[in-house]
Amino acid sequence: MTPTYHHGDLRRAVLDRAVEVIAEEGPGQFSLRSLAADLGVSHAAPRHHFGSRQGVLTALAAEGFTLLAVALQSARESGGDFADVGVAYVGFAVAHPSHFAVMFSPTLLDHGDAGLAAAQELTFAELRGGVRALEAQGRAADPAAAVLAAWSIVHGIATLALSGSLDASALRTDAAEDLLELTRRSATLLFRPDAGRPP
């Protein structure tokens, strides 16, 4: 049981408790009343910050997209190539599974929220920027398709890993194989210098 809330940042405490509940039960499996009870505050207190359960989930998603954008930017600015950005994407998902689950559950979110829209744009700007770099190298002739393909690969790997499907499948022949190294190899395969060229 989470320790009751005593003082300080209630908004942060609500988000942290929501992360714990989502990790245990999945996104959306809580009410503001239950979070308030867990934290030992009045049932109305979380509404002051979030308004509704959707408000909590939207705030978590916005936080997640911001953290993801920072992770992708850090991979890029440290001299990494596009495969490194893909590795950062999967690394984020594994480190923040509750955020990741909420970020990509659109029916749970308020898409009119300006903070969410801005955070999403930060993330997708990083993905588009990586593809532009590949395009300049002649490795992405169709940028729109390249963004979709790259995102599909890393998002798919993250989703398969978090659901346990990757470990259960025969596709991962070495169970001890590092997930991030597998991600790097997959991303490199898509954007290797000879990709798309005839043999």
The answer as to whether 131 is a domain residue is yes
Give the range of the structural domain holding residue 39, as residue numbers without chain letter.
Answer: 1-51
118 and 181 fall within a common domain: yes
Evaluate if residue 114 carries a pLDDT over 70.
yes
Q: Which residue has tokens 């997930």?
A: 179
Supply the angle between the helices 114-136 and 53-77 in degrees, to the nearest 10: 30
Could you tell me the CATH number of the domain that includes residue 14? 1.10.10
The answer as to whether 153 is a domain residue is yes
| DSSP tally for the chain: helices H, then strands E | 10, 0
- Number of domains the chain is built from: 2
Phi, psi of 104 (to 5 degrees): -115, 35
The answer as to whether 21 is a domain residue is yes
86 and 168 fall within a common domain: yes
The answer as to whether 114 is a domain residue is yes
**The predicted structure's pLDDT at residue 13:** 93
62 and 88 fall within a common domain: yes
Q: What is the pTM of this model?
A: 0.85
The answer as to whether 26 is a domain residue is yes
Answer yes or no: are the C-beta atoms of 48 and 96 closer than 8 Å: no
Those residues whose C-beta lies under 8 Å from the C-beta of residue 30, and which sit 6 or more positions away, are 18, 21, 22, 53
List pLDDT tens digits, range 150-175: 889 999 999 999 988 887 776 655 54
